Amino acid sequence: MATPIPPPAPLPDLSLHPEVQRDQVDAGKIVNDWISGLENRFKTKSFGDLSALFIEDCWWKDNVGLSWDVTTRHGLGPIAAYLSSAPCLPSNLQVATRAGVQPLLMDAGGMFWIQSGFTFRHPHGQGNGFVRLANVGKSDWKAWIVATNLQELDFQKELQTANDTTTAISRHLPATNGNSDANKDLQVLIVGAGQCGLGLGARLKNMGINTLLVEKSARVGDVWRKRYDNTTLHTPRYSDSLPFLRTPDNWPKWLYKDKVADFLECYSRLLGLDVLLNTSITHARYDEKEKRYHVEVEGPSGTQVLRPRHLVFAAGIFRETPRNPDIPGQDLFRGQIYNPAQLNAAADIPDLQTKKVVVVGMGNTAHDIAYDLATHGAKEVTMVQRSPICSVSTNSLETIVTSIWNTEGVRQEDADLAMHSFPLSVLRTMGVGLSKVISAFDKDMVEGLKKAGVALNTGDDGVGITDHQLVKGGSFYVDQGANKMIIDGRIKIARSDGGVKSITATGLTLADGSTLDADVIVFAIGYDFNDHIMKEVLDPADFEKIGNVFDLDDDNGQERYGMVRPTKLPGFWFLFGSFAQVRWLTRILSLEIAAVEKGLNTTYFDWSS
């Protein structure tokens, strides 16, 4: 299924005025003056003409900060309209002073802006935001991008105070085989106990909201344990933690799958989450009269019926089963054909040293498998590439992309705030420039890969790292060793834009007519989207109400219709993301759910009526 994507946005003029000297820019004063001007607009509700505060090509990204939804608005008119109708106007705006979010003049390859975090009082809690100001005159700075976010609701402080003063010992332990009492007045049911489900469950539990997770695996973390044997995270440890609990500082920087699995399992226990294991959801329908879901689950104790008010699908964006292509001639092949779910490690292939192996695909999994095969002495390893990929070294990733999460004095939540404050269209454009910087940083590696025959997106063709990370969700590789083997010839590359045409008794015929001899073929060509689960288990009428959760909304087409946002089916939510995204997205979704449960948001649906 192809998903729509917002187009890249042209960037405004981000140069400095000829009379502005970088070392004389007082970022703190400029931001304070701008914030004061914005606060005055909120006090007087004067949103008719914002041109004194914003450039014409401006953006406002709001995550439940001014309304109970996630939205992005582009341009003076749409922003003015949004602010005029926002139900939760902020007050008491204060400029942030901590490292990482304090006012700062940024230089991004000759593009300049002042950026700063800020805090504000929300009618029902506390919020924070981030602003980027463009220089439009000798002493004039206006907003290019503003982001606002609800940080916490007032009742959370009351809960924390109660937790701080009590000396009682909680006996509440997570369920493992369907013995949980969590179905009593169940408020939220989460399908999936991976990083998304666990992170959301932890936030909701911390809010005192009765939450239950169902997980079809035998243990929390099995979704990682079952992956290919040498699988590692492709982001560094310091950027990959969950709400309330960070991974140990003395763990490897690039975590192996079993470490990830163990961390998730320990996380569920340490935070006392209720998880029904070995349990699958078989059917769900929404009862409009009771304003609850009727959810049937099958587990070790048989069939149970759960009655939550909210149903959250957090089973991942991709299916667990890899794609299996239907290619003519597979029944003729004399060797073995695998997909990543059928092959745990190169060592599982008998007499590997005597065999030529072809790996079809060039994503993370394909690289990991090819590296493992070459390391274990396969006679020959060839990767078939169909389309260009983005390949970066771990050094460039840490230096250029993830460094903010590893900067001394910068809190993780502040790094998250800065990194999640860009609209997706702007990120796509900036990702192109970022790819050019990375390619220059990785010059020797890039030249070596190109010489070996690898087709790369390096930004020169208008495709950037953001397109691979956040839009395509694939064709992206952070080097964990395979690149060196490709460059030195231990892993060969066969380019074929059309992929594999057919399989013969002794190998493959590519779309361009060339052939490859093979004793073993591994198809590592990715995974389909996981939307089929919703269609299979939801009542057909309910599924029709939801629509395609991957579609873009009508408000500038910047946000996914169903991604941590209210859907047309009351209480139905959809969540997926990486570890760094999960910290951010679970806060948004937990606040949306809590606002409904506490009666603060009755515009979406009102349980009390």
Q: Which domains does the chain have, with CATH numbers?
A: 22-154 (3.10.450.50), 176-319+530-598 (3.50.50.60), 323-528 (3.50.50.60)
Q: Residue 283, exposed/middle/buried by CB under 10 A (0-12, 13-18, 19+)? A: middle
Amino acid letter at 515? T
Structure tokens at 432: 């192109």
CA distances from 606 to 20, 87, 189, 412 (A): 53, 16, 18, 35
Task: Return d(Cα 180, Cα 174) in angstroms, integer.
Answer: 7
Higher pLDDT, 169 or 418: 418
The answer to whether the CB of 563 falls within 8 A of the CB of 553 is no
Count how many Cα atoms sit within 13 Å of the Cα of residue 245 in the half-sphere of its side chain.
16
pLDDT in tens, 490-536: 999 999 999 999 999 999 999 999 999 999 999 988 766 666 678 88
Question: Which pTM was predicted?
Answer: 0.92
Listing DSSP states for 442-456 in one string gives THHHHHHHHHTT--B
- Name every residue whose Cβ is closer than 8 Å to that of residue 327 and which is 6 or more positions away in sequence: 500, 501, 502, 503
Which residues, 6+ apart, have CB-to-CB distance to 289 below 8 Å?
Answer: none
Distance CA 476, CA 465 (A): 8
pLDDT of 164 higher than 80: no
List pLDDT tens digits, range 134-144: 999 999 999 99
When comparing pLDDT for 442 and 545, which is higher?
A: 442
The CA distance from 117 to 137, in Å, is: 23
Residue 608: band (very low, low, confident or very high) from pLDDT cuts 50, 70, 90: low
Instruction: Answer yes or no: is pLDDT of 176 > 60.
Output: no
What does the mean pLDDT of the chain come to?
A: 90
**Residue 117 near residue 96 (C-beta atoms within 8 A):** yes
What is the DSSP secondary-structure string of 5-67?
-PPPPPP---PPPTT--GGG--HHHHHHHHHHHHHHHHHHT--S--TTTEEEEEEEEEESSSS
Q: What is the DSSP letter of 118?
A: E
- Would you list the DSSP string of 158-187? HHHHHHHH--PPP-----SSS---TTTT--
H/E segment holding residue 359:
strand 356-360
- CA 576 – CA 578 distance, rounded (Å): 7
Identify the three-state secondary structure at position 239. Answer: helix
Separation between Cα atoms, residue 46 and residue 48, nearest integer Å: 6
Backbone angles phi, psi at 151, to 5 degrees: -95, -45
Token code pair at residue 26: 């007082």
Name the E strands within 374-514.
380-385, 390-392, 476-478, 491-495, 500-503, 507-510
The helix/strand/coil state of 341 is coil
424-441 and 443-451 helices, crossing angle to 10°: 90
Structure tokens at 12: 């405004």
What share of the chain has pLDDT > 70, as a percent? 91
> What φ, ψ does residue 158 adopt, rounded to 5°?
-65, -40
User: Inter-axis angle of helices 195-206 and 257-270, to 10 degrees?
Assistant: 20
Q: What is the pLDDT of residues 218-252, one digit of tens each?
A: 999 998 998 888 888 889 999 999 999 999 999 99
Mean pLDDT of 251-279: 96
What would you report as the CA-atom Rg of the chain, rounded to the nearest whole angstrom? 26
